[in-house]
Amino acid sequence: MAEAKEQILHMEYSEVMQKSYIDYAMSVIVSRALPDVRDGLKPVQRRVLYDMHELGVKSDGPFRKSARIVGDTMGKYHPHGDSSIYESLVVMSQDFKKGMPLVDGHGNFGSIEGDGAAAMRYTEARLQKITEEAYLSDLDKNVVDFMPNFDETEKEPVVLPVRVPNILVNGAEGIAVGMATSIPTHNLSEVIDGVIAYMKNPDINTEQMMEYIPGPDFPTGGIVTNKDDLHAIYSTGVGKIKLRGKVEIEKLKGGRVAVVVTEIPYTMIGANIGKFLNDVFSLSENKLTNDIVDISNQSSKEGIRIVIELKKGADVDYFLNLLYKKTRLEDTFGVNMLAVCDGKPETLGIVPIIRHHVNFQYELATRKYTTLLAKEREKKEVQEGLIKACDVIDLIIEILRGSKSISDARDCLINGNTEHIKFKSEQSKKDAALLRFTERQAKAILEMRLYRLIGLEIEALRAQYEETMQRIADYSEILEKRSVMAKVIIKDLKNFKKSYGVERKTVIDNVAEAVVEEKPIEEIDVAVLVDRFAYARVVDMATYERNKEAAEAECKKIIFCKNVDKIFAFTENGQQFMIKVLDLPFGKFRDKGLPVDNVSKFDASQDHILFMDAMPNLLGRKLVFATKSGMIKLVAGEEFDVTRRQSQATKLNDKDSVLCVGLLEADDTLVMQTKNNFFLRIDAATIPEKKKPAVGVRGMKLDPKDEMVAVYLLHSCDDTAAEVKGKKVLLKNLHIGNRDTKGVKR
């Protein structure tokens, strides 16, 4: 047999990649990240709930290990790893994340403060009662389609028959490929009222709908502060909701007050509570307020309670505005109501979401009552057969006694065939030949027990038949008249509202934006003390004068300036770093300073500070720069007055570094010392003035293998000496020479 010839397909690479990526993106969007608008569930949530239903983990039964639920879900329906399944199970049980938890968790399922749930082998779960009644109750009535699972060994529902608008009640969050959804939670009672209003008036607009659903209702409570923006958000499905925590003011002993946060914005759930506490602490640390005495998180199972104690006489209104402006006590919830509609992602307003839900309810009701009607008609057929059989019971008994097999008796009951049956009389045979029971009726007659022949049982059978006929009439009317079906749906919704509705937690209002007016800082003269370890601190001038001798003995640098001034540090890598005096600790003389690294971008492990001074002291003055390669220049102090925390102070050649930076004074001289002990002293006033980006001019001629090792800026009264071969050289005794000469050797 000839081998099949291989066929080579020539395809455009870009087209293959585009198609593959689109397929992947749509798979993530539809099958992983976004909820279906009909049941408001992502596939993983739907599969977890359905698996719990299949396992029989009911609300009134025992809890089942979470690991069993997760493993069963992964093995049957969701082969994407256990972590995503367990995380979904955990979130559906957390009442601080969901408006209506769908899972009843037993054990450590995490906390509002961001504590994670215990491992799945330690926790247990079961379905909530509302999940059974409103999400899973009609799965046996052919109300939704089923599809094969990933390996076609099981069947799973395409969508759950959810009877309440879950996508609004529990909201949704998900990140897909190139899109994301963020739907806030809402109040169950209000949403049900909105659905009923739509069913009564399908032409209802957004403004009218908001009379029933005024806005989101977050499980953490709080305040929505931009009520007027909600109409646009609910019309388009996109926008920003501004949230604010609820605060109470409590009076303490000694005239002090406490600001108590009792409800937090929904966005603060988890680690953001810890960040909020850190941000409040930073307000004091950054000197935005001096009113905070203590911060404590007294939250418990009873609710949130974050207590901030303030000093006596503190401006509470100013402090509250500070909290709203500088911390996450006021935050923004981004709304993007994106869901899968008819197999594709779509951004929806609140009315279209409810329209999709109502259409789904009509579809569910149609399929449910069609199934129920078919069952009742089957029951009617059987009941009619049994009633008819009771009227001719003697004949049927005679047929059964005269038959050699069940098939002969069945054939007689259905077709009147009396050929293989012995009768007591010819009349009985003639009567039997007239029997025409249906196959289903014949089966019921053959399976009927003798006690059904009791008079009371026969009466009960007739009563059941009447009930069946009534149900057939009711179901037929529901299916034939949409208005009757609407009443049935509305009745169910009202029952859910009565059983599971709760009071609204979130307040919706228009609140003026918090404004924090920066309080003017009183300018005072201060001394900035910098020790040899580059720790800096600030004291007022009175404190400095009292400790002047100690300060001069212990500090490497003392800078006199205002408390609102900026200090600039110049380093050997040619950089300048800006430090705000207000960022340095202000206090007593013996208080510990703060490393310069902490209040600037300076990194002590990568660079070394050569000179520091406040900007007012540099204005109108000139700075001398001298480098390792012998380049020198003067730069006007005004050039360094910048707002950036780090910038370049001078340009350097490759492998060059700054050896000296200093403020030039009248009659100053500059002494340059090389590795080979050549010295050159020049008049500093002869150094040309350059701009910051300039390299400078050559200050001293160097031999090819020589380099500058030290540069000294000598003031008129300096007695600085350099050590050469164990001997001291007094620098002021050196002869003043010309720039760009070799100098003298010592």
Give the residue extent of every domain in the chain.
41-161, 246-328, 356-499, 525-745
For 698-746, write each residue's pLDDT tens digit.
Answer: 999 988 888 889 999 988 778 888 888 888 888 888 889 999 898 898 8
**Residue 232 one-letter amino acid:** A
Confidence of residue 23 (pLDDT cuts 50, 70, 90): low
CA distances from 124 to 53, 99, 118, 121, 308 (A): 15, 21, 10, 8, 37
Tracing tokens 């215990």 back to the chain, one arrives at: 118
Q: Is the pLDDT of residue 391 over 60?
A: yes
Q: Is the pLDDT of residue 693 over 80?
A: yes
Q: Is the pLDDT of residue 516 over 50?
A: yes
Tracing tokens 């690479």 back to the chain, one arrives at: 13
In this structure, the number of other CB atoms found within 10 A of the CB of residue 364 comes to 20
Percentage of residues in the chain having pLDDT higher than 90 = 58
What average pLDDT does this structure show over 605-631?
A: 91
Q: Where are the beta strands (DSSP E) in 563-636?
A: 566-571, 575-580, 594-595, 609-614, 622-627, 631-636
Confidence of residue 453 (pLDDT cuts 50, 70, 90): low
Q: Mean pLDDT for the chain?
A: 89
CATH number of 525-745: 2.120.10.90
Confidence of residue 681 (pLDDT cuts 50, 70, 90): very high
Q: Residue 154 forms beta bridges with which residues? A: none
| Domain 41-161 coded CATH 3.90.199.10 | yes
CATH topology of domain 246-328: Gyrase A; domain 2 (3.30.1360)
Residue 363 has what pLDDT?
96
Q: Residue 680 forms beta bridges with which residues? A: 672
Q: Residue 306 forms beta bridges with which residues? A: 261, 297
By CB atoms closer than 10 A (0-12, 13-18, 19+), residue 473 is: exposed
What distance separates the 2 farthest-apart alpha carbons in the chain?
A: 157
Tracing tokens 């149609």 back to the chain, one arrives at: 366
Separate counts of helices (H) and strands (E) for the chain = 21, 35
CA distance 261 to 243: 14
Are the C-beta atoms of residues 383 and 377 closer than 8 Å to each other?
A: no
Across 48-62, 266-280, 355-369, least confident range:
266-280
| Domain 356-499 coded CATH 3.40.50.620 | no
What average pLDDT does this structure show over 453-457?
A: 64
CA distance 306 to 295: 8
Residue 253 has what pLDDT?
85
For 636-651, write each residue's pLDDT tens digit.
Answer: 999 999 888 899 999 9
Helix, strand or coil for residue 246?
A: strand
CA distance 567 to 612: 7
Q: Residue 735 forms beta bridges with which residues? A: none
Helix, strand or coil for residue 38?
A: coil
Across 20-29, 225-234, 519-528, 614-623, least confident range:
20-29
For 214-250, write each residue's pLDDT tens digit.
Answer: 999 999 999 999 999 999 999 999 999 999 999 999 9
Across 463-472, 554-563, 580-589, least confident range:
580-589
For 177-191, write each residue's pLDDT tens digit.
Answer: 778 899 999 999 999
**Residue 281 one-letter amino acid:** F
| Active site positions, annotated | 122
The reply to whether 246-328 shares the fold of 41-161 is: no
DSSP state of 119: P
Confidence of residue 1 (pLDDT cuts 50, 70, 90): very low
Q: Is the pLDDT of residue 29 over 80?
A: no
Q: Is the pLDDT of residue 528 over 90?
A: yes
What average pLDDT does this structure show over 491-512?
A: 93
What's the CA dihedral at 380, 382, 386, 387 to 10 degrees?
20
Length, in residues, of the chain = 746
Across 112-126, 161-175, 588-602, least confident range:
588-602
Burial 331-342 (b: 16+ CB within 10 A, else e): bebebbbbbbbe
What average pLDDT does this structure show over 249-254?
A: 88
